[in-house]
Structure 1
Amino acid sequence: VYGLGFTTLFFRNFYEAFPTALVRAAQVDGASFFQIFRRIMLPNSLPIIVVTVSYKFTDIWNDFLGASAYAGTGESMPMTVALNNVGNTSTGG
């Protein structure tokens, strides 16, 4: 939810700069709203999808690294660090 505003802004600016001539040409050819989205907008959205996924991955990864650097081994730690520590415990046997 934290990055929803940035993600919305990324997509909004990308679609605002999209050439309207393609959409109007599809409308003249009789394409519906969903056909325009599925056949024109969605295939051309791959760059912004990749940018958004890489941005959010980096944001989540940095949040985890910051939390694990300051958490320590006590009782009080963020949930992501606690789950990581549970998954990485070994029995030593």
Structure 2
Amino acid sequence: MPYVRLFTLFDFEDESIEDLKMLLIRTLMKEALAMIKSQIAFGRKSVLEAYGVILFRAWKGIDGVLKEEFEDGFLQSLIEGSIYANSVVLADLR
């Protein structure tokens, strides 16, 4: 976890960091997508609902190109994973 402290050294308000922010967000989105997708079929309802709250807050907090990428790639992939999940619990969520 020592790498987490490195993020405090960046000035995320400065315009010069936009490219790095986009790169970090895209990288983290891919990792988060893989983690969440792996739990869709077997996750407890409370865990899946918590993911939903997190994703909704993330979606509300972004705009522009990043929002399009989030909707068209990240969310679309999660929706497809949920549709194809073979679970009675998830069938109730649809």
Question: If the TM-score is normalised by the length of the shorter chain, which range does it land in?
Answer: 0.3 to 0.5
Between 1 and 2, higher relative CO (CA 8 Å, sep ≥ 6) is seen in: 2
Higher helix share: 2
TM-score, normalization by structure 2: 0.33
TM-score, normalization by structure 1: 0.33
